[in-house]
A and B are shown apart, each in its own frame.
Chain A
């Protein structure tokens, strides 16, 4: 006596195909859509002030450290206080509508609530000063900020991405004097700069152990 129809004989085949195809799709979805490259790169929040890095860092050529002043000495690259803005804008474009929130902050004493763009998880202890003195430039992680009207994330900032450089730092090193230079490339290096890079590489000890970055 038959309990099941004959067509059920295809069930194992259909199941196997389903597992193979479904597994393939699931793998693709996780690898592509769950990756930091997909999830984080391009994050571009709207800031309270329509500040343009393209104008200030690109066209005007202001050094990164003019505003992010402590970056060579500290873990964090600070977000500049209103006073830094007003250092110029007390006399430049004093009646610009786009600068109204900055003037408001200047008068009230309440800081502008900038939205943090590059934010690694709390258990990651990233030290800006160490990377700069080792000869890793701003552009390596932040991309061409001098071309960004609004800052967005350019690199995945994932652990694997960090480790790629920690395991082979050479192509990412530059002379310490060039760390904030967005346009400099290794091809332009002079003999003196090459020698400096070789020295930087020789003393580079990027950690690969867990406690290097997690404590």
Chain B
């Protein structure tokens, strides 16, 4: 990353409010972890930890009794649990996209939101992993899914996409965590240096790994960051592709389609950005981050949501087209049933939330309006939950033989595990806001005008060179 001058002809603005100093950036971000938490934080934290407690009790009861306490049963053997899994994994996608893909494409605006979204990724993946773990029924046998030599001579079936999922998601989690941590190291050092009491100094000093900000440290850091970005970039595409294979490789009308991998990836980025947006707007308002997270950042995110939302809309349309074009009666039935069967309300909620609502962002006035984008981002996440519900439940509930049809309705435990996972997510996220620098201090400084090595050296129109060698510059230019 580095400083890039805004292009005035394109009406670009600085990424950080004009006139902000390095010290102010450090102060804005660090003070959140140093001062007392605001009252709102405590209220939200109280609510989310209570909900997490309910989750713990629910899971305890569920494991004690068996997963029959959930509503899924033949023929809808996958229901809310897998819906929630895919939903959370999808939300997790924005983190890697922002931190890795946008990094490689030199999208400097990512610096204001990457820490935030990487944290969100990690917590979302934790919530996601919880669901298949419980769904498998006996979590203590989870090692069955790993290639560990054992006395049973049992070996995972490498032909199964469910196994690919295990590898894809665990790799994703590991790389995301490393990426997040590496990025945090210089900021931990900042917090360490600002720490007033010994305990803080020790903790932040320990996790800062002895960072002194030397040239060698920075050079190693940049290299490590680049390598991790390169490693994570394929993961952005692979993880949700593999998740989509769970469906696409099954011979199940409504699932068995080749469009699934790109369709799922687009949907994942879509929902991930929406979740980042929801959280970012709250944090920006509560902690006063307006100088670092500017309307321009939010607008760019809205443009990505508009793009991915339209891609998802295209995929919905294409599914219907292929159902007709293939001439397969089962496929055709499933899609007519989706739009007009027992779960029509879920389908049309999905269309309204995912396809129609982001179209508002075509208008500059709306995509730069904070209340509008806040509401739309929540609506999108509701829609993306419905998308997974529609794909899973409507495909399963009426597939081939009418004698094997059946409907799904959630039990109280389905609802509690879902709401509980939200509690877990927000608990982790609030702790993150409280104790870790929520914006990458060092990276934001890199994209500020002060980071420009030519700052103050006169170029064509701006600034004046006050250095002693100022006169040498025109001379060199003449040569």
Interfacial residues, chain A to chain B (CB-CB below 8 A): 3-4, 9, 35-36, 156, 158-161, 163-164
Assess the B151–A158 pair: CB atoms within 8 A.
yes
Q: How far is the CA of A36 from the CA of B153 in the complex (A)?
A: 13
Assess the A3–B205 pair: CB atoms within 8 A.
yes
Assess the A3–B201 pair: CB atoms within 8 A.
yes
Q: How far is the CA of A163 from the CA of B154 in the complex (A)?
A: 10
Q: How far is the CA of A35 from the CA of B152 in the complex (A)?
A: 10
B192 at interface (Cβ–Cβ under 8 A)? yes
| Chain B residues with CB below 8 A from A161, complex form | 151
Residue in A4, A9, A35, A163 whose beta carbon sits within 8 Å of that of B153 in the complex: A163
Assess the A158–B201 pair: CB atoms within 8 A.
no
Q: How far is the CA of A160 from the CA of B153 in the complex (A)?
A: 5
Residue in B150, B192, B201 whose beta carbon sits within 8 Å of that of A160 in the complex: B150
| Chain A residues with CB below 8 A from B345, complex form | none
| Chain A residues with CB below 8 A from B192, complex form | 3
Top-10 shortest CB links A-B = A159-B152, A160-B153, A3-B205, A158-B151, A163-B153, A160-B151, A3-B201, A36-B151, A160-B152, A35-B151
Q: Which of chain B's residues has its CB closest to A4's CB?
A: B205
Residue in A3, A4, A9, A159 whose beta carbon sits within 8 Å of that of B151 in the complex: A159
Q: How far is the CA of A159 from the CA of B151 in the complex (A)?
A: 6
Q: How far is the CA of A167 from the CA of B77 in the complex (A)?
A: 34
| Chain B residues with CB below 8 A from A9, complex form | 210
Q: List 8 A-B contacts (CB under 8 A).
A: A3-B205, A4-B205, A4-B206, A35-B151, A158-B151, A159-B153, A160-B151, A164-B153
| Chain A residues with CB below 8 A from B210, complex form | 4, 9
B202 at interface (Cβ–Cβ under 8 A)? yes
Q: How far is the CA of A9 from the CA of B201 in the complex (A)?
A: 17
Mark out the residues of chain B between 390 and 412 whose CB falls within 8 Å of any chain A CB in the assembled complex: none
**Distance between A209 CB and nearest chain B CB, rounded to angstroms:** 12
Assess the B202–A3 pair: CB atoms within 8 A.
yes
Assess the A158–B152 pair: CB atoms within 8 A.
yes
Q: How far is the CA of A4 from the CA of B198 in the complex (A)?
A: 11
Q: How far is the CA of A4 from the CA of B204 in the complex (A)?
A: 12
| Chain B residues with CB below 8 A from A158, complex form | 151-152
| Chain A residues with CB below 8 A from B154, complex form | 159
Q: How far is the CA of A36 from the CA of B152 in the complex (A)?
A: 10
**Interface Cβ pair total, 8 Å cutoff:** 26
Looking at chain A's contact residues, is the secondary structure mostly helix, strand, loop, or mixed? helix
| Chain A residues with CB below 8 A from B152, complex form | 158-160, 163
Mark out the residues of chain B between 76 and 114 whose CB falls within 8 Å of any chain A CB in the assembled complex: none
The digit string for B177-192, where 1 denotes a CB below 8 A from any CB of A, is 0000000000000001
**Distance between A37 CB and nearest chain B CB, rounded to angstroms:** 8
The digit string for B190-212, where 1 denotes a CB below 8 A from any CB of A, is 00100000000110011000100
| Chain A residues with CB below 8 A from B151, complex form | 35-36, 156, 158-161
**Distance between A151 CB and nearest chain B CB, rounded to angstroms:** 23
Q: Which of chain A's residues has its CB closest to B204's CB?
A: A3
Q: Which of chain B's residues has its CB closest to A9's CB?
A: B210
| Chain B residues with CB below 8 A from A163, complex form | 152-153
**Distance between B211 CB and nearest chain A CB, rounded to angstroms:** 12
Q: How far is the CA of A164 from the CA of B152 in the complex (A)?
A: 10
Q: How far is the CA of A3 from the CA of B202 in the complex (A)?
A: 7
Q: Which of chain A's residues has its CB closest to B152's CB?
A: A159
Q: Which of chain B's residues has its CB closest to A162's CB?
A: B153
Q: Which of chain A's residues has its CB closest to B192's CB?
A: A3
Q: How far is the CA of A176 from the CA of B60 in the complex (A)?
A: 52
| Chain B residues with CB below 8 A from A3, complex form | 192, 201-202, 205
| Chain B residues with CB below 8 A from A36, complex form | 151
Q: How far is the CA of A159 from the CA of B205 in the complex (A)?
A: 50
Q: Which of chain A's residues has its CB closest to B205's CB?
A: A3
Q: A35-B151, A159-B153, A163-B152 are in contact. List 11 more A-B contacts (CB 8 A).
A: A3-B202, A3-B205, A4-B202, A4-B205, A9-B210, A156-B151, A158-B152, A160-B151, A161-B151, A163-B153, A164-B153
Q: Which of chain B's residues has its CB closest to A37's CB?
A: B151
Q: How far is the CA of A3 from the CA of B210 in the complex (A)?
A: 9
| Chain B residues with CB below 8 A from A160, complex form | 150-153
Q: How far is the CA of A192 from the CA of B341 in the complex (A)?
A: 69
Q: How far is the CA of A67 from the CA of B151 in the complex (A)?
A: 33
Q: How far is the CA of A145 from the CA of B10 in the complex (A)?
A: 91
Q: How far is the CA of A161 from the CA of B201 in the complex (A)?
A: 56
Q: Which of chain A's residues has its CB closest to B201's CB?
A: A3
Q: How far is the CA of A103 from the CA of B152 in the complex (A)?
A: 43
Q: How far is the CA of A158 from the CA of B205 in the complex (A)?
A: 50
| Chain A residues with CB below 8 A from B150, complex form | 160
| Chain B residues with CB below 8 A from A164, complex form | 153
Question: Considering residues A35, A36, A160, A161, which has the most beta carbons from chain B within 10 angstroms of its beta carbon?
Answer: A160
The digit string for B210-247, where 1 denotes a CB below 8 A from any CB of A, is 10000000000000000000000000000000000000
Q: How far is the CA of A35 from the CA of B151 in the complex (A)?
A: 7
**Distance between A159 CB and nearest chain B CB, rounded to angstroms:** 4
Q: Which of chain A's residues has its CB closest to B208's CB?
A: A3
Q: Which of chain B's residues has its CB closest to A12's CB?
A: B209
**Distance between B202 CB and nearest chain A CB, rounded to angstroms:** 6
Q: How far is the CA of A187 from the CA of B160 in the complex (A)?
A: 44
Q: Which of chain B's residues has its CB closest to A163's CB?
A: B153
**Distance between B32 CB and nearest chain A CB, rounded to angstroms:** 22
**Distance between B216 CB and nearest chain A CB, rounded to angstroms:** 16
Q: How far is the CA of A36 from the CA of B150 in the complex (A)?
A: 11
Q: How far is the CA of A73 from the CA of B284 in the complex (A)?
A: 77
**Distance between B147 CB and nearest chain A CB, rounded to angstroms:** 15
Q: How far is the CA of A160 from the CA of B152 in the complex (A)?
A: 4
Mark out the residues of chain B between 264 and 313 whose CB falls within 8 Å of any chain A CB in the assembled complex: none
